[in-house]
Amino acid sequence: MGLPHVLALPFPAQGHVIPLMELCYCLVDHGFKVTFVNTEFNHKRVIAALSAESTVRQLALVSVPDGLGEEDDPHDLARQTEALQNTMPRCLEELIEKSNETGEPMTCMLVDEGMGWALEVGRKKGLRSAAFWPAAAQMLAAILSITELISRGVLDAHGTPIPEHEMFQLGPGMPFIDAAHLIWNLIGDERSREIVFNYFLNNIRVLDVVDFIICNSFKELEEPTFSYAPKILPIGPLPTGLRPSRAVGYFWPEDAACLSWLDEHPPGSVVYVAFGSLTILRRSQLQELALGLEATGRPFLWVVRPDLAVDSADACPDDFKDRVGNRGMMVAWAPQQKVLAHPSVGCFVSHCGWNSTMEGVRNGKLFLCWPYFADQFLNQSYICDHWKVGLSLTPDESGIVQREQLKSKVEVLLGDAEMSERASSLKEKAQSNTDQGGTSFHNLKRFIDTIKAANP
Ligand code: UDP
C-alpha cells in the first residue's frame, strides 16, 4: 500500500497558505504524501519566491484556476468567493480522479475552513476530511454560533449587527467581539455583504461532515473557548517557518540579510515592526511611524512591503535613512518566524494577525498592537486584556498614531518586568503544549492517526 495521501487546500491568502503548509510538513514527517493546491495566481508567487533547494518530494505544489477573469478585482471578496465555488470543485475532483490513476490515490482532504464548501467534494469522492482554522478559535466559535447570535439579537437574519447590541461575548471569560468586525460586515455594499455572509453560512453547514476541526492555537490561550466549542481542537503553536531550507509558502521573496543584522544587536534591544500581508497605511501614517521609530533611539527592523503605502511608493521622510543609518533596517519581506525567534528582538509592533500573534507568543515577545481590520481587534484584546503581554496603540482624532505615543509605549513596554514574565510563561506553555504529552501534541496525534486510516 502507498503512503496516505492528503489533498490540502488553503484559502487564497498569505496568512492561510503559511500555517497550512506548516501543518502539511507535520503530515509529511508522519509518513504522508501531500498535494498542496494553490490558486494559479498564488502558485506562481510561491514558486517565484522559492529557492531551489526548498521543495520536498512528498509535498507537491500544484495549482488550479480560481475562476477570476482579467476584468475581476482580486480584492473583491464577494466576487472571489463566487468564482472559487463555481470553478474549483470540478478541478479538485479531477485531481482526486487523477491520483487514483497514478497509483497514489488521495485518502483525505485537509481544507481551510474558509474553503469549507470543498469538503462536499471530498465527501462525494469518499475521502476522509478535516477542516483547519488559521485564526483564533474564538472567532470560529463566533461564526459557528451565527444562528445563536441571530436569536440573541446581536445580528439580524442577514448577519448585520443590530445597533447597540453589536458587542457580544459568547460565554464567561471569553473576550468581547464587535459584530461589525465579522468579515462580511466589513464589506461596503449590501449585495456583496449578503454573498459573503451566505458563503460563511454554507461553509459552517458543511463542517458537520468533517472528522476534525483543528486550529493553530493552544489550550491555555483560549481555554474558555475550547470548553464552549469542544469540537475545535488546538494543535498549535505550529512551528511555522523554522524548518531549515523548507519553503514556507511566502508570496514575496524573503530578505534574509536582516538576520545577520539582528546578530549585531544586544538581546531584547530591537523593535520589530510588521503589518502582515494585507494591511495598507496612508503615507502620512508611514512617515509618522518612521519618525516615531527614529525617536525611540532604539534599533529597529521594519517590514515595508512594496504595497504597504496606499498612496505612495516611498514611505519614508527625506533623509530618514541617512539619519538612522545602520540603527534601522527596512526590508520588503522578512523571514518573520526566524526574526521573532531571534533574541535581539525585544518587542513586536504588530497588526495582530493571528499568525503574527502566535509567532510572537511562542517566542515570548511583547506586543505593541496596531490592529487594522476584522479579527485583529479580537487578537488585540487577547494580547492586552487577557494574556496581558502587550499594549495597544491608539490613533488620534485624525486617525494617526503619533510618534510620541510610539516612543513612550515602547519604553513602558520594555521596562515592564511583569509583562515580560507573563510573555516568558506563555512561551513555556506554548512549548509544553507541543512537547510529547502536551494537549496540542495529543490532539495532533489523534488527528494524524485518524486520517491515516484509509477510509471514512
Ligand atoms: N510574514 C512574514 N514576513 C513579513 C511579514 C509577514 O513572513 O515580512 C508572515 C508572518 O510571519 C505570518 C504571515 O506572514 O505568518 C501573516 O499572517 P497574519 O495572520 O499575521 O496576517 P495577515 O497577513 O493574514 O493579515
Q: Which three cell numbers stand for residue 394?
A: 491608539
pLDDT exceeds cutoff 70 at 1:
no
The pLDDT, as a whole number, for residue 108 is 95
Number of neighbouring beta carbons within 10 Å of residue 103: 7
Q: Do domains 5-243+434-453 and 257-431 have the same CATH topology?
A: yes
To test ligand 1's pocket by mutation, which of 250, 277, 348 has the most ligand atoms within 8 angstroms of CB? 277
Rounded distance from Cα 144 to ligand 1 centre (Å): 25
Please state, in angstroms and rounded to a whole number, the distance separating the CA atoms of residues 183 and 148.
18
The pLDDT, as a whole number, for residue 434 is 97
The ligand 1 site (C-beta within 6 Å) comprises 14-15, 18, 274, 276-278, 303, 333-334, 336-337, 353-356, 359
pLDDT exceeds cutoff 60 at 394:
yes
Please state, in angstroms and rounded to a whole number, the distance separating the CA atoms of residues 207 and 215.
14
The pLDDT, as a whole number, for residue 48 is 93
Query: pLDDT tens, 261-274?
Result: 999 999 999 999 99
Please state, in angstroms and rounded to a whole number, the distance separating the CA atoms of residues 131 and 135.
12
Rounded distance from Cα 97 to ligand 1 centre (Å): 34
Please state, in angstroms and rounded to a whole number, the distance separating the CA atoms of residues 120 and 63.
19
Ranges of each domain in the chain: 5-243+434-453, 257-431
Helix, strand, coil percentages for the chain (3-state, nearest 5): 45, 15, 40
The architecture that CATH gives domain 5-243+434-453 is 3-Layer(aba) Sandwich (3.40)
pLDDT exceeds cutoff 90 at 420:
yes
Does the N-terminal peptide bond of residue 237 adopt cis geometry, omega within 30 degrees of 0? yes
Query: Confidence class of residue 50 from pLDDT cuts 50, 70 and 90?
Result: confident
**Ligand 1 atom with minimal separation from the 340 CA:** 11
Identify the H or E element spanning 449: helix 439-452
Query: Confidence class of residue 91 from pLDDT cuts 50, 70 and 90?
Result: very high
Please state, in angstroms and rounded to a whole number, the distance separating the CA atoms of residues 450 and 444.
10
pLDDT above 70 covers a percentage of the chain that reads 98
Q: Please name which of 327, 298, 328, 330 lies closest in space to residue 314, comparing C-alpha atoms.
A: 330
Q: Please list, in sequence order, all residues whose beta carbon lies within 8 angstroms of the beta carbon of residue 438, skipping any fewer than 6 positions away.
A: 432
Q: Kindly report the protein residue whose alpha carbon is nearest to atom 24 of ligand 1.
A: 15
Asked if residue 54 lies in contact with residue 244, where contact means CB atoms within 8 angstroms, the answer is no
**Ligand 1 atom with minimal separation from the 352 CA:** 20
- Domain 257-431 belongs in CATH node 3.40.250.10: no
pLDDT exceeds cutoff 70 at 52:
no
Identify the H or E element spanning 234: strand 232-234
pLDDT exceeds cutoff 80 at 27:
yes
